[in-house]
Structure 1
Amino acid sequence: MARLWYDARLRAATIQIAVLGLAGLLALWLATNTAENLARRGIAVGFDFLSRVARFPISESLIAYAPSDTFARAFAVGLVNTLFIAGIIVVGSTILGLFVGLARRSQHPLAFGIATVFVETMRNTPLVVQLLFWYALVTVGLPNVRQALNPLPGTFLSVRGLFVPSLHVGGSPAILWTILLVGIVVIVIASAVGRRKRVRTGHGFPYGSIAAAAMATGLGATWIAGLWSVSVDTPRLQGFSFVGGTALTPEFASLVVGMVLYSSCFIGEIIRGGIDAVGKGQWEAGRSVGLSERQSLRLVVIPQALRVIIPPMTSQYFNIVKNTTLALVVGYPDISYVVATTINQTGQAIEGVLILMAVFLTISAAISLFMNWYNRKVALVQR
């Protein structure tokens, strides 16, 4: 027994199993106690309400929805809206954060000063206040529909939102999307093969360019054959609003602008810190082989800085996804909005909160898996 006890791996496994067992017993006790208390008060427990008719509207949805649909359909709409807005904010804040981080390292006093004021102002102002500011600016500061701003041909900006032209694919759009999907996959694989050959032999071959040319040829041939077509739908004033095109509502616009500006400050500081963590000797090494400052940054410094940037960037992406719940402040119908409305109508608070927790846990786990994979992919030392 003494030999088994002093086995570090066995002792660690035993402790972990014991902790998991205690956690499971605690969760079982909480679930049983909650179910008994709710039953004593005549409150039903379960997810049967998901099959009932929702009977509440959702102002914006990327998938078809009507108040006569079920609560399950409403949850699906909220989830798609959350994923859509989170993806836009992640991409936008990453791109803007890169410029902010580089400006914070700039030797130009104007660029450095603007970036510093921007970062300090945004980081030290509550996100809720920023969202309310942008929402008020959009809904109060812009003109009405008939006096809408027209900054670009076919583009209108008013208190109803931003209206822009949209593309409509006619004919057989399945052919178009199939060619695009297959072409993108082939281009990615061909580019990877070309890079590996260049690393292995020193001589590459433009596999990716050839695949892109083949995809463009296929798209052009099917378009000439009339298998698919593209038309532009321009917004036009009709009654008290615009019809046609694509409309970006004030709620959507204020949420995207506010969260992109807020998140880009943190991402910019992460990128700046990662670049500063690379020794100055690496910059000198790039100059010694004839690289410009931009080439040294892209080819020498950034690949080394990624191992410092990616871990905190993962945490920042988590924060972005969780901060999307503040969409309630401006009225954008994300998953938290749907859950709150469902709880008010059905009283199924525990089930609604559990669904909300499961959604964000799943999204966070997916982000973590992807970022960990990418971190291993760009690691300088492969194990």
Structure 2
Amino acid sequence: MTRPETDRTEPGLGAKAPAENDTAAGAGRAPRRDARLDNAKFLLIGLVVVGHAIEPLRDVGAVSALYYWIYFFHMPAFILISGYLSRSFDGSSNRVEKLVLTVAVPYLIFWTIHQSIYTVERGGLPDSLSVLKPTWTLWFLIALFLWRLSVPVWKRLRWPVLVAVLISLFAATTSLSDTLSLGRVVSFLPFFVLGLSLRREHFALLDALWVRLTSLVVLGATAALAVPISDRLSRDWLFWRDSLTDRDIDPLIPSIGIRLAFMGLALAMTIAFLALTPKRRTWFTALGAYTLYIYLGHSVVLILFKASPWYDVMNNPVGAVVTVLVAVGLTLALCAPWVRAGMRWAVEPRLTWFLKQDDRGADADKTASAPEARDEKRNERTSGV
């Protein structure tokens, strides 16, 4: 999620990954980034920004259908990639230190920024100042932090995906508070664990012609499906946030069925999206390294937009188109070197002075010598949003 020219470990949004055909690692050179994953991360973060930008305009024309289509799969896809790029996390002190510096500290910084804006907007302090209750988009950093810490556990299980699905379904039948975004942590868990279980050869299966043709049908059909669903189904199902007990229907029968249906829909669309994502370098491949900058930066900009008259003026079809274009422009602008330089203090804070030195964690990172292990360690650099 950050600068490709550095060797710093980053959180979940922009991990470095090796190219599948690169043999440089065996020759002692750093492997290239995986172009398909970088392309996918940039396209997905673009959908994140567009989805958040058009949220207040859902009553305008086809905006609601577009909003539903984006939310069908964009976060499950991002979380699956995050899981895949978190495979090397072993719980060592060095890895935990990097997790704190690249996820927890930026979370605290942007939580403070969000709350400061809300305080000015409302003219007073909010009802709760608990850092355990993430503001708006920051739930993902909380979730990534908890998921990453649990990686060693999932690696020990024989059927991790099945266990994660059962936990997701049945834990959601009890009341879950918004503390630590537990609803989303539990609900999205299967996608993270599925990503952990994937290997390079699984992505190679996406290159088959019949898979790509089917993927076109899947994305087209779901776009058509979004039109009637956006008028009939509560958008709360898209957020994976609330407990199933918060629905107005029996939580143990139809609610679980609907949750499973949304899981299947998200998985099918994620596979289709990845199959159609270019696996070669494109003009935006390099931008896939900066997804954390985009994710954190756009939230501040859009909070300011929502506090301004922007959405009152743009509440019409032309305004919706303009808002989408602004969202695309914002995505690209947040990748600009001068913008990243200005945000680096918050996105990539250098606070190693805050933590104790522990040579054992550093030594543990040097023990892996197999090419797969070396590649996975490089992948951990920003494996996520």
Same fold (TM over 0.5): no
Which structure has greater strand proportion? 1
TM normalised by structure 1 equals 0.27
Bigger CA radius of gyration: 1
Compute the TM-score of the two structures, normalised by the length of structure 2: 0.26
